[in-house]
Structure 1
Amino acid sequence: MEVYQPLEETCQAALDLLGCDLAWLLEVEDESLCSRALVSAKGNSAAEVFLWRLHGTAARHSRFPLEPQTNALATLLMAGSVRLNLPIAELRSLPDGLRLARAFNQLRHAYLHVLPLYAAQTPLGLLVLATDERANVEHWQNASLIKILSMQACTALQNRRLMASIAAREAQMRADQTFLKRVLDTMGDSLLVLDEQARMQYVNNRLLLISGYAREELYGKSVGMLFHASTRDQLVRNLQRNGRGTLKFSQQLVTREGRSVPVLMSRATMQSNSSELTILVLSDLTEQKQREQALEQQSERLQALNRAAQALNATFDQQRVIALLLHTIREIIGSTQANVFLPASEHAELFYILTEESLSTPNTRPTLVHLGHSLAGRAALERRSQLHSSSQQRNEIAVTSSGDALALPLIVADKLVGVLEVLAPSEGAFSRDDVEFLENLSVVAAAALEKASLYQSLQQRAMALQQTYDELRRSERLKDDLLQSLSHELKTPLHKIMMQLQILDDEMYGALNAEQHNSLRAALGWSAQLAGIVDEIVIVQALSADDLHFTAVDLARLTAQAVRKVRMLAGELQLEIALEIADQVPPARGDETHLLIVLEQLLDNAIKFSPEGARIEVKVLQDSAHSVLICVRDHGIGIPAELHERIFERGYQVESGITRRFGGVGLGLAMVRRIIEAHNGRIWVESAPDAGSAFYVQLPIFDTRDSMNAHAASA
């Protein structure tokens, strides 16, 4: 680059004057030392080797941080003193000096001569000279060569900065001129620059577009050629340098074809060298009015679209959506006819046609039509708008209007929900704004129709679900009533049967042999089992707090009693039951009979689900100031987490094989929960597959005030 040529010449002068082997000039710029010129007496390849060794690249304008603590060159510069015959080996002791020393050693240089370059105590740069042998520096100093070379290097650096600044300003001026011309050429108004004789020196693109002239037809010509003959001469006289008249703001610009365009003219002057230039700005009032009208119409249509969107989204009735859509089209577009085609779900390829007339007539069933190759059919098939111009052949598509016709598919998430067909007023044509408005409206209408359809479908499903739910409720009540009635009806006969069987077993009617006793006792066991099932049904179906007799229940005693009842069965299965009762467990508030049922049921479940030889742990303790806790833990098959709630439902059993092995109808845990909830208590399970199960029952502690209230009520 030419801007660096003086710097390279300075380096070459250092080689010639001082007999050095390498000259390297660096400049301070942006808080860094920038390599600007590098000349080697051993040739350009040696310089490139030096740079490669230093940076791994041959780039001549590399940068070094201007930080003495991290860079050897910065250390030498900021020291501010000339260093002559500095052994290159000493560079290794400076920050990051090892890399620099290796680069010089690569070219077999042994000594450095460092000249810091300052101007008014401001660092400009650094001139580094290298020699293979120790130099005769006394000769350099006596001849003032060091001083001369330093001054030359400072001057070269200052000149480079000045040239770079001038080049930057020139580039900025060119950019500003280009930008100004671009602004003038793209501005919305026409602009002319006139000389003192009212001749055109510059016109922007906007004027060329309005007038129809080319630049070469206007430059150097009188501006009067652009204005109406009635005002031309007076206008030119007023625009010339000696003109004194007043300009009218409103003028008529005449185009190349002779068409008049009303413009609003404003004037300004500026000095250019020794002459005065006039600047005219012409605003096209016709286009301004057209823009105002277009903006006003666009604003009205946006407001209409917004109102329509709000109205369409506010209703969930499909026919109401269509009526609002057609009314909006008639009001904004002025269309005499618009139709909506909805797919008939029960007839493939058929559509229902709905119009304002059909929607306003009560009890009118929409007509089914086949769209075929009609305009609406093509819109439905191709999934894009179809415009039928009035100039097209009538036999191409099925339309009856003499004006334009537009069919727009109503699509939501790639699903066709209908087709909108709009006919332009008689002999009329759709403008681009009309088509854009209808396309936007069709998007809103499609979403509203889909929403209304989904709402209608949801309503139908909700009604069907409600009917199903009501039927299930009736069936559930009927089943509950039947089970309740059946259980009560079975209870008395069962007890009578058991009494008679017990009388026979007691030989009140005569002696029995061993086989007869065994048969009677088996029948008694089966009857007791059936009676237990009936009791479970009664408890699950109808038990409430009103059916319980609350007293202070000694849970330690009651739990021990339940454990004694099942020990024999557990022993047959080689199961160990460990009972642990904490000290001073307070009595619970409960119905002793029903709590015994709960304990027996939980122990029975633990026995059922425990493998042979396993251990069952039962604990009773006080877990808070207001409650006591019972825990029954087994080491059986466990229960998955997702079934922890379901096992307390009526009829649910974890594993059908257990049912076949031990029997039961799946009411045990449902009955337990019913009893505990009637006690205002809580039951839950902690379990995982193959990790056993722990059932917890939490009951309120008996309060002596409960006993006092009960005595007062009975009194």
Structure 2
Amino acid sequence: MIADQTMGGIMQSYQHPEHVASVSWPPDFDVFDRSPDPALDELTELAAVLSLADYAYIAWPDVNRLWFKSRYGFNAAEQPRATSACNVVFATGQSLLITDAAQDVRFPQGGIELPGARPCRSYAGVPLISADQKIVGTLALLAHNPGQFQGEHLTLLDILGRQATTRLELYNRIRAQEHAQRARNRTERALAVERCFVAATLDSIPALVAVLDTAGRIVRFNQSCAQLTGMSLAEAAGRLFVDEVLEPEDREWAVGILRQAAAGQVSGPHETTWRVPGGSTRRVSWTLRPLQGPNGEIQYVIVSGQDVTDQRQAEEALLSSEARYRQVVEGSLGFVFTCTMEGRLTSLNAFTAETLGYRVEDLTGRSIAELLDSTGALTFQECLHALQTKDEWQGAIPVRRSDGVYRRIAFRSRRMELRGERPFILNHGVDVTEQHEAEEALHLATRQRELILQAVGDGIYGIDLDGRLTFINEAGARALGYQADQLTGRDVHEVIHHSHADGTPYSKVTSPILQGMRRRESVRMADEVFWRADGTSIPVEYSASPLIEDGRISGMVVAFQDITERRRLEKMKDEFISTVSHELRTPLTSLRAALGLISSGSLEKRPDKQKQMVDMAIANCDRLVRLVNDILDFDKVEKGHLPLRRVPVEAVDLLRRAAEVAYSAATEAGMAFRIEAVPAVVIADEDRILQVLNELVSNAIKFSPRNTQIKFSAQPLGDKEICLSVEDQGQGIPPEKLEHIFNRFQQGDASDSRPLGGTGLGLALCRSIIEQHDGRIWAESTLGRGSKFFFTLPAASAK
């Protein structure tokens, strides 16, 4: 038992004996609905009576509510889950005992709320756990008075809860069996419906369909086949197909192809005559296809055919009549010609010859390949080869005119077989040169558009009238954290433009892009946000233009830019201008005041004060010069334009020269120098390194008290670096500022830097110079004891 005391209230929770179960909603039991259950009502009433509870219930949860399956002492059907004590049971998966809810901060002072009942101060509840260890509900007791329930009541509830869970599981198994039986019944009905559907489909299609067994006996005729042959299914069933349908001269080879089909080979199409009632025949084109059973063996052969009698009669009539041929062919405004199976022209209409710039007699007898280039000749050979086994071929071939210009002709070629004649090819063609060129131009334009979209750095996407994305370029998808196919077809407003940066939602009515589409107007926004796939926002500016096709709008194209970097640069610029203006204003104000006093003549009788004002003016002028020089040097370093003349130089010489330069200022400030350096040679620009040392020494003098010491040192760091340092005994730098003192306009202690004349750029310039020497610079400090600045330079031995 685990006890937890909060705010003076007593709450006891009992862990389930096995482990904490997970909450399951919606409930796993189909029978766990809101309809009454006498058995569960009896368990609830028994729990209430034995525990002297005012209220009792069995309930189950969903995400937001608690539903009462069985209840005692009240009539409510549901309760918000968050206001119930059972919410704690669902959250922890443990039994819960509350002796006084009025002292528990999780509940109102009046007690636990229960719809249609007085607030209760006592509560006892156990989780109802299914066989798969999921919480499907609770059994709970409530009482008006505090201290009504004890640990033994939880034991009682646990026993009754298992009885309730057992009954629910029994109901669930019964329901599962009923579902399985209904599923079997549905499957059997669906199978029967499917058989009827197949039969009805076969009888409704115009094609001829017959099902044969592997011996060639008829198993089934469809209605079209029965009408053609004059036999009903009852009459045809069990008879041999070839004997009942085909003419005697076709039966022998038909038996052979039936054996091939029974062995798994598709055969056809074959065109033969079928016998029909009255002793006449019909011309039928038919195909044999094997049908496999579940075990992969061939069980049936499907005969599918089409009555082509009328079609063949029409073809024979057309080709046998010279007058009709001339009327139809010669009057055609398309290419019409015939050729042998080898591709030699046998006849052609006048339009074909005239379009190609020839006379009919000039082309008759010539090979079509003579009018084609090498690629076209290869395509035409493929056509001839295909027509050896197929009835029809379609394709487009460039054909050369007499003047050498090629025209693209779309052909439809058909193999013709007339009785008593050799097979030949009938060709119909249409000049599609202009259409092909237009398609090529469209393809080129589409490709150019795609290349342009992928080349631009800005994000570009399009939406349709429903606001769904139709395309997006790679830069746009990458900026939003998606792959292009992840966004295609999705509602762009809901995915990337659903709210402002502060989280205020954009509705589809107020969205500028969708408003522009409704108004057929272009939109330009300079301060908006889009949302990435990871849930972060990016500031953007975008322009949206409507897509107008034939006077009707079909969508919008949106081009957007990520302006994160621009905002950062603008912020840096504003900060820089603000700081520099302050740094300039301070010495200029002092300079103006000093010069004003001198020019007014009020200090003529006070030469000491006048000299002090002159010195102040000179010092402020020097400060302005240093600031301008620092800014110019810093700009050169940042742009990589600061020239460096690196030469070998003794490290101790650099330290001595820095001490000599600062000697006067140190003496005036009452400070001494000490140099500790081992012999070491560095590769450096002497003037720039002295500039760094002078800045560090100047800072040490400004921020150190009198009668202290400034220490210089030089020590090797391995074989490749020499470390130089400047150490003072000043006030030190706060730890939180050590990381920022090398940034522009940052001071270790701003309260001291202004009076002492700092520009705020010195250490930033030092860092840039040292980094340009491939070195590092850093600082260590202890408040009240001083600071130590280090920087490294390449050793001459490493070069």
TM-score by length of 2: 0.30
TM-score by length of 1: 0.33
RCO greater where, 1 or 2, for CA within 8 Å and sep 6 or more? 1
More helix by share: 1
More strand by share: 2
